[in-house]
Amino acid sequence: MSYLSKTDPSILNLITKETSRQEHGIELIASENYTSKAVMEATGSTLTNKYSEGYVGKRYYGGNEVIDEVEALAIQRCKSLFGCEHVNVQPLSGSPANAAVYFATIKPGDKVLGLQLDHGGHLSHGHPVNFSGLLYNFTQYQVNKDTGRIDMDQVREIALRERPKMIIAGFSAYSRNLDWQAFKSIADEIGAITFADIAHIAGLIAGQAIESPVPYFDIVTTTTHKTLRGPRGAIIMCKEKFAKDIDRAVFPGMQGGPHDHMTAAKAVAFHEALQPEFKVYAKDVIANAQAMAAELIARGHRIISGGTDNHLMVVDMTVKGVPGKEAEKILDEVGISTSRSTIPFDTRKPMDPSGVRLGTAAITTRGFTVADSKAVASVIDRAIEQRADKVALEGIRGEISELCKKHPLYI
């Protein structure tokens, strides 16, 4: 970063500090991961200089011959990776992608069925403070209070009673696989559009570690970071009959020009995910999550639904006498980044909820093994148990540092 060091050393200093924080700490935030250097190089390329409103072969600016090739390659690779009929690679992020889906397929005030936020859903799946809840008439399903799992009989019951025009399957804090075919069957009964938001599990699907909704669902969105290990951005995949409406909703409906450097970085990430080693990565992510969950349970922690099928888990920290916000802070002190999380039927406030959400996508990218994941679970347990002992916490911080040295962030 020689140019940045001359132009703006203050920003360079902050980037250096953040890089050090990432290198010497353990990242368990389920929505975060580490991109490859190739992805980062694409994001910092000359493509950031170009403006490209429109689509391949149909731009509103000149000089887009190369950009057309970049976007076409990203599209081709995404289709190969997910087996989708059509894909729009231009969405700038997950929520705008979801907004475009609504904009393309339903009207303000139409009824939509989605998973409730504090039961594992996402803000853009109908929360009252979000644009989705403000513009559309959402009704929501929950997880079963005893099992912590989505009850498809309840989903069907609500769908038959409410007759939504769209059913959403997807989550930001749910640790079990979704029954895509069951959702599709329910939607077909009432003639509803099926929309899957796979932002959290796209990499696991790409790596063929869990089932894909693409063969069954009308529309599928995902961010391109998280388990997919790409740049910050999103895509929308759909059946061909929705292609024109989706494209029109993204541009000119929701966005102006795409971020061409991010399109290139998405193409790089798709290429990386098409390699055989990515399948190994996806399986390892799940193995690490299941090992961490099992170790936490063995140490007396309560995990919502009793375990995980994917990369994440939500842990009810109140079992250990600590609310989620305090647990997040304690773990941060020893070098473990997590995110506080509501739990189903939480009696605490959203900003100070009962749980924390943990994920293994980032540590698996660093090369953490099942044994390492169990060690991390042990550290989490001891940090919470010894939270009042500053000397003990300092010792735990040292253990974290040693674990990170075993697995350098960038090789």
Question: In this structure, which amino acid lies at residue 291?
Answer: A
CB 82 within 8 A of CB 237: yes
Structure-token pair, residue 212: 């894909």
- The catalytically annotated residue of 41, 51, 179, 245 is 51
51 is catalytic: yes
- The catalytically annotated residue of 226, 340, 366, 387 is 226
Count of C-beta atoms within a 10 Å radius of residue 401: 15
Residues contacting residue 315 through CB under 8 Å, at least 6 positions apart = 296, 301, 302, 303, 304, 355, 356, 357, 358
CB 267 within 8 A of CB 74: yes
CB 204 within 8 A of CB 273: no
Structure-token pair, residue 358: 């943990």
Structure-token pair, residue 255: 């966005």
CB 47 within 8 A of CB 264: yes
223 is catalytic: yes
Question: In this structure, which amino acid lies at residue 237?
Answer: M
- How far are the Cα atoms of 99, 168, 263 from residue 184, in angstroms, in the given order? 21, 10, 31
226 is catalytic: yes
- The catalytically annotated residue of 223, 342, 364, 365 is 223
Cα angle value 156/160/163 (rounded, 5°): 120
CB 317 within 8 A of CB 356: yes
Residues contacting residue 191 through CB under 8 Å, at least 6 positions apart = none
> How far apart are the C-alpha atoms of 169 and 162, rounded to whole Å?
16
> How far apart are the C-alpha atoms of 274 and 166, rounded to whole Å?
31
- The catalytically annotated residue of 27, 71, 118, 197 is 197
- The catalytically annotated residue of 50, 79, 111, 232 is 232
Catalytic residue annotation: 51, 53, 197, 223, 226, 232
